[in-house]
Each structure stands twice: as structure tokens, then as C-alpha cells.
Structure 1
């Protein structure tokens, strides 16, 4: 059983790192395209169609797809006012409780995002702006990201229980 969990954990880590690299690639494409757009305008070539739309869609994708990697590296925003006021043992319990609540919220969000994605795909809904794209092109990221975030929070609980600490515990 431990071997299976280890394999699943490696798969999870591989996937979130792959999505982080995909996010970096999107950022590089957006940066290059905006730079080309600016140079084109300065040189009198006019406006490149679709830059604003692509940038908007890419920013949405980057925020969602990088979130599991950010959580894994504990680089997310944490409000520690209540946690720091508690004794160390209660900090540990509050960290586990916070992770459990976050995991449940992410599962619910993943469920509704998946329903929305499937509905959009079945209806073949389109987004009309400079670019005309199927709506589901922009919706596959949410169920994936929220599901991976739920797994990430469950991992935090497992490792906190196993190692005797939580990410919510402050260092002395």
C-alpha cells in the first residue's frame, strides 16, 4: 500500500510541476506577444488582433494552473493572526482543521467547475470578442486546479499527522 501511495504522490508532484512549467511557458508567450505588439505599434504596423484576449485567457489559466504548485511550496497567502495566538499543540490542530476545510471547499468547487465545463462543452458555447473561442477551452483549468488543490490539502493533513507538524505551525 505504501508503494502505491508513493507512486500516486510522485504522479501528483509530477503533474503539478508540469502545470507550473506550462504556466511559465504561457507567461513567456504573453510577454513576447505583448512586446511584439508594442514594437509593432511603435513601428507603425498597427494592432495585432487577439493579444488582449489571449493575455486575459492566459492570466486566468496561469492563476489556476500554478495554484497547486504554489500550495505545495507553501508560497500561498496565509493569515496567521489567530494561529500565532494559540499554544503550539492547538496550532497544529487548527492547521489540520484549516486544511480539511480547504480540501472540502476545493472538492465542491471542482465538482461545480466540472459540471460547468461539461455543460459548456455539450452546448458548444462560444465566447465572442476579438477571438471567437469555445467557452470550454477556458473552463478545463478550474476542475483540474481545484481537484489538485484538494489533493494538496489532503497531503498537508497526511504529512502533518505523519511528521507531527502542519504548515500552520509557526517556528519558535
Structure 2
């Protein structure tokens, strides 16, 4: 089960990378069009409609879809100044507390993000740009990313409890 979840987190990370690639392509294309307008004059002035909106939506998708993958790979910034000074048992208890708190806060944010997606669908909310995009479309990857982060936090919390239990029963080898 853990391996399957890690593959799911990796898939989300790959989708985040594609979103970043999309940002690069859209912004590079608009820069190319801006250069064309400077060189060729006003007759060759073109703009990709709502390109900034598309780049922003892709940035939100990339940021949130990458969270679970980054957590499981140990890429989040951790402040260990205090925890490194604690005895091993206290450090483990603090880690569990922080994981549980992060899980609760992320689950709260996930719940309300999915409510926002449902509200956007219900009211047919659209973006205010030149191209009106239904807002549920860019909101869904954010909600998915938060859902995966919640799942990854639960996954990490369960692994931490199991690892400590294995150590205490002598199944985990030397500490």
C-alpha cells in the first residue's frame, strides 16, 4: 500500500513539473511575441489572450500538486534547532504532535477547498480575464494537491507510529 501511495505522490509531482513546463512555454511564447512586435512594429503586435491567467493557474497547480511528493522526499524545510536537542523519545513525541497538527490543519484546508470547488461549479464562477475560464478547473488541482498532502501526512504519521512500535518491540533493529 505504501509503495502505491508513493507512486501516486510521484505522479502528482510529475504533473506539477508539467505545469511548470506549461508556464515556461506560455511565458516564452509571449516574450517571443513581444520581441516580434518590437522588431516588426505595431502591425506584428500579438498577445496570447489571458496568458498571465494561464500561467497563474499553472503555478497554483504546480505548487499544490508538488506538496505531497516534496513531503515524502524530505524536501520541505524543517526547523530542527529545538528538536535536535531533545532526547530521542521526546523528539519522536514532538514529531508525532507536529504531524498530527499538520494533518488536522491540512484536512481543514482540504475540506474548504473542495467546498470552494463545489461553490464555483454551482454558481458557474469564471475568471475575469479575456478568456473566461470556469474557476473550478484551476481550483481542482489545488484541491487535489491538498488532498494528497493530507493523505501523505497521514501516511507519514502512521509510518512514524509503526516505526517506533517496531523499535520498542525489538523488531526495528538497533536504534
Shorter-chain TM range is: 0.7 to 0.9
Task: Give TM-score scaled by structure 1 length.
Answer: 0.84
Question: Could you list the per-position Cα deviations for residues 48-84 of structure 1 after superposition, in whole angstroms to 9, with x for gaps in the alignment?
Answer: 2222111111111110111111111010121222212
Q: Which of residues 19, 23, 35 in structure 2 aligns to 1:30?
A: 23
Question: Against the structure 1 CA distance between its residues 133 and 95, is the aligned structure 2 distance closer, same or farther, given a 3 Å change threshold?
Answer: same
Relative distance call for 1:143 and 1:26 in structure 2 (3 A) is: closer
Q: Which moved more, 1:101-110 or 1:36-45?
A: 36-45
2:134 aligns to what? 134
Count, aligned residues: 158
Question: What is aligned with 2:171?
Answer: none
| TM-score normalised by L of structure 2 | 0.82
Separation in 2, partners of 1:147, 1:111? 8
> 3-state SS of the aligned residue for 2:79?
coil
Q: CA deviation at 1:120?
A: 1.1
Q: Does 1:21 align with 2:30?
A: no
Give the equivalent residue in structure 1 for 2:34.
Answer: 41
| 8 Å contact from structure 1 (residues 125, 134) kept in 2 | yes
What corresponds to 2:119 in structure 1?
119
Q: 1:118, CA displacement in angstroms?
A: 0.8
| Distance (whole Å) between structure 2 residues aligned to residue 23 and residue 142 of structure 1 | 11
CA contact (8 A) 2:22 2:55 kept: no
1:3 corresponds to: none
Larger Rg computed on CA atoms:
2
Distance 1:21 1:15 in 2: 10
Gaps of 5+ in 1: 1-5, 166-172
* 1:102 maps to 2:95: no
C-alpha distance in 2, partners of 1:136/1:38? 28
Cα deviation 1:119-139 (Å, max 9, x = unaligned): 111111111113211111121
Aligned to 1:169: none
Secondary structure, aligned partner of 1:127: coil
Matched-pair contact (CA < 8 Å) for 1:53–1:130? no
Q: List alignment gaps of at least 5 residues for structure 2.
A: 38-43, 166-175
